[in-house]
Amino acid sequence: MIIRKDALVKAANFCAYQERTQAEVREKLKSLDVEGDEADEIIVYLIEENYLNEGRFAKIFAGSKFRVKRWGRQKILFELKARKLSDHSIREGLAEIDDDDYMETLKTIIEKKKHELRTEKQPLILKQKLARYAMSKGFEGDLVWDIINKIVSSPK
């Protein structure tokens, strides 16, 4: 078994390299044969020393997945829950996404996909394909349909 100081240093380096969740740190500690109270003590120390901050993780994760991968809130929410973050941290993360940017991104991805599907002549099939694509990116159905109805019905 690794002594506590070694495990603490490795956990701190693990967190310093990039933002982590408590679950990820716990898994890392488990791989170092550190579990139970000792793992809890290390995690508390990492939180107190600001190596580990789930709110910060959620903000960075949500912001980057939205800006870089153009994920919608639903997909980001699902991923944050899968990473076992608290509801408070998830709300903090999702708050990083500006509503105007969100709508503009949704409009952009739908228009881009519409251009890719320009050979589709039937408007209903085109709308279904656009909606399926946008919703698979994690955008909410009501927002998707609002944008699609404005874009497809308007001549371009």
Length of the chain counted residue by residue:
156
Q: What is the pLDDT of residue 13?
A: 92
List, for residues 102-137, the tens digit of each pLDDT value.
Answer: 999 999 999 999 999 988 888 899 999 999 999 999
Fold (topology level) of 4-48: Arc Repressor Mutant, subunit A (1.10.10)
What is the structure's pLDDT at 136?
97
Is residue 83 within 8 A of residue 54, CB to CB? The reply is no
**In which residue are the tokens 């890392």 written?**
28
pLDDT on residue 141:
95
pLDDT at 156: 46
pLDDT number for residue 131: 96
3-state DSSP helix/strand/coil % of the chain, to nearest 5: 75, 0, 25
